[in-house]
Structure 1
Amino acid sequence: MDADADADDDDERQSRPGRGEVGRKVRLHTGTATVDGERADYRFASVAATTPGGETVTVSAGAPLATERHAVAEVRTAMLAGLPALLVVVAGVTWLVTRRALRPVEAIRGEMAAITASADLSRRVPEPGTGDEVARLAATTNETLAALEAAVDRQRRFVADASHELRSPIASLRTQLEVAVAHPELLDVAGAAADTVRLQRLAADLLLLARLDAGERPREGGRADLAELVRAELSERAAERTAGRVPVRIGELPERLEVPGSRARLAQVLTNLLDNAQRHAASRVTVSGRREGDRAVLEVADDGAGVPEAERERIFERFVRLDDARSRDEGGAGLGLAIARDVVTRHGGTLGVRSAPGGGALFEVRLPLA
């Protein structure tokens, strides 16, 4: 006999009831029995009992399984018969609910298809007032369409303004060349060279703006010392005092003022700000720099007429020149400040303008320190 059998016998002996007692352990099992001449399957519950004479017997009580099996069979038959109808009802309800839920999506899709076909970006998709994900999708789609419309309008204005600005120097060069062909002695070489330089600068500015609009960002790991840029720029402008331009002087400036970014792009920001200040200054231009917390601050101030408060954001738009009376050669194409702000923004900084303490305009560049 194996160990399991010995353990079962021990359990049975331990659970064996005393004389005249019924055991507490009930054993459930399935078996076959013949009752009234009919043999059937039963579910039995058996307990051990000991007679007063000490004889141990097993008392079993059973219930036929036919009733349970018959009930299960009836339920199975009913389910098999009703399942197709239930599936049809569920499918129909699901289709109706899904169709109703997706109706706003179809309206959005149809309107987007119409917008694509008509190229009319002023149209908007319908926004359901349900406040659910579909409503938020419609609102986001309309915001995207509004941003796209603004970008396209800005691009159209940019192309129109650029064409207008390019037309002037090109027409001037053509006129001078046509005159030179007929009368070589009347050729204005200095004027032709000035128009060529102006055209070259304008083309370079337009190319840079196109790169900035395409998402050009400073190369990772680059650094620029703003203090060194100021000193280098002013050394190049030292001879401008005799050329009739307002001199530039250095105010407060630390030995080093390093910021992350492109040295060439930040140098162009400084050049554009100084050119703008010299055009509008009466007698002096001052450039200074300092540290404020984790920011580097660069300021360019002039003692000119200043910028009206209502125009302080407009001057950073492209091809904007507040003084319409000045000549194009002196006033430029109105791209310098726009380029400066775009470059500073892509370096994680800000560029703004306010009144200088001594009168005039003060342009302030804030960039994160390296």
Structure 2
Amino acid sequence: MRHVYPEYGTPSAHRLVTTISLTKEQAALDAMAQRTVATAAGLVLLTAAGAWFIAGRTLRPMEAIRQQFTDLSTHRLDQRVPVPRRSNEISRLARTMNDTLGRLERSVEQQRRFTADASHELRTPLAALRAELEIALAQPHRANWPRVVEGALGDAVRLQQLTDDLLMLTRLDPGATLYDSGQPLDMTQLVREECARRTPPGHLDLTVTTCQQPVPACGHPSLLGRVLGNLLDNAERYATAHITVILSHAPGTEEITLEVSDDGPGIPAEDRTRVFGYFTRLDNARSHSTGGAGLGLAIAHHIATLHHGTLSVADSEHGSRFLLALPARLTSAAELRS
């Protein structure tokens, strides 16, 4: 590098010329730049390696959860994904997945039991029908054909009722909101009409007590009528002489109570919850000739739940006593009549 001082115009005899070499400084500057770039690259690589190691260590439980979840199937729902010891988002996710798997396992197991019970219930009348027809065809000249046809008709009716109940259960979606999507109705009129349509056996006396004024409710009349019909069917099956239906609603309250009681053998306290299960028969009602398929009370309980109500077995001195509680709807009598 060459500098000339001063730069303004002077005679050449008075000028000072200085020459300085910057080769060493440039080399030092280049070396410093190279070291800086190498250091930065090393730091980047070190940071990336550390991030990769930490991410791998952190996500290792996620990989174990993924592999375990991949191995699951409908035949191995009893297994669970591993839960990390540390309480963090991954452990909470694993616990949530295990809870979901538990609910799924219970649902699948319940569906399997229901399918097995339904198959057994359908097979029983089919086997009886087949046996009757085979016996009659084996000796047609000795068969009492009117009696054979009568027995076959009874088995066919039983099959039809069981099929209708099974279809009803499949149509009652647990996530449905039948109460909210229902229509205003008068429970007093519904109870009176349902009881008037029935013809109980000659040895039974049916007593119906309802309110004098309309009792407003909200729901589906056909389904609520099915609840009362199933309760009356159960009462007729086990009653000795009397069946009582009482509809009550205190003015200003938000609950309607429908009581169906009989003077039969009653229901033990330990069976008051189990009696609402699918295909449930108590020990003294296991006979297919006197007992039903064990779906009537289950359907009634399901419909009551979908209408935001409850169906339970209450204490009774004699026989059984079923209580249906439904939410009342604040409406006018004119709206019910319209």
Residues 217-266 of structure 1 show CA distances to partners (whole Å, capped at 9, x for unaligned) of: 528243443222211111112x3243x4x222113435322322221111
How far apart are 1:215 and its partner, in Å? Answer: 4.5
Alignment of 1:283 onto 2:244: no
| 1:222 to 2:183 alignment | yes
1:296 Cα shift?
A: 1.9
Is structure 2 residue 33 aligned with structure 1 residue 82? Answer: no
Shift of 1:81: 4.9
Secondary structure, counterpart of 1:129 in structure 2: coil
What's 2:109 paired with? 153
1:136-191 deviation per Cα after TM superposition (whole angstroms, max 9, x unaligned): 11111111111111111111111111111111211222223334444265122322
Q: Which amino acid aligns with 2:82?
A: P
Letter in 1 for 2:78: S
Q: Identity of aligned pairs, percent?
A: 42
Instruction: Give per-residue Cα distances to partners, 1:13-58, cap 9 Å, x unaligned.
Output: xxxxxxxxxxxxxxxxxxxxxxx969xxxxxxxxxxxxxxxxxxxx
Q: Which of the residues 277, 302, 305 maps onto 2:262?
A: 302
Q: Distance in 1 between matches of 2:264 and 2:152?
A: 31
Q: 1:266 to 1:362 in 2, by over 3 A?
A: same
Alignment of 1:1-370 (within 5 A): 80-116=37-73, 119-181=75-137, 182-183=139-140, 185-187=143-145, 188=147, 189-212=149-172, 215-218=175-178, 220-237=181-198, 239-242=199-202, 244=203, 246-291=204-249, 293-324=253-284, 327-356=287-316, 358-370=317-329
Matched residue of 2:200: which SS?
Answer: helix
Q: Structure 1 residues 316, 79: closer, same or farther in 2, change over 3 A?
A: farther
Question: CA distance change for structure 1 residues 88 and 326 in 2, over 3 Å: closer, same or farther?
Answer: closer
Is the 1:249–1:286 Cα contact (8 Å) retained in structure 2?
yes
Q: Any gaps of 5 or more consecutive residues in structure 1? A: 1-35, 39-72
Q: Residue in 1 aligned with 2:333?
A: none
**CA separation of 1:281/1:240 partners in 2, compared to 1, >3 Å: closer, same or farther?**
closer
Change (3 A) 1:331 1:221: closer
Letter in 1 for 2:144: L
- State how far apart, in whole Å, the 2-side matches of 1:197 and 1:217 are: 32
Q: Using the alignment, how far apart are the partners of 1:201 and 1:89 within structure 2?
A: 75
Equivalents in 2 of 1:318, 1:191: separation in Å?
26
Unmatched segments (≥5 aa) in structure 2: 8-28, 330-338
Matched residue count: 295
State the TM-score, normalizing by the size of structure 2: 0.79
1:299 is displaced (CA, Å) by 1.5
Counterpart residue identity of residue 112, structure 1? F
SS at match of 1:289: strand
- 164 and 104 in structure 1: CA distance in 2 versus 1, 3 angstrom threshold: same
Structure 1 or 2: larger strand share? 1
Correspondence for 2:17 = none
1:362 is displaced (CA, Å) by: 1.6
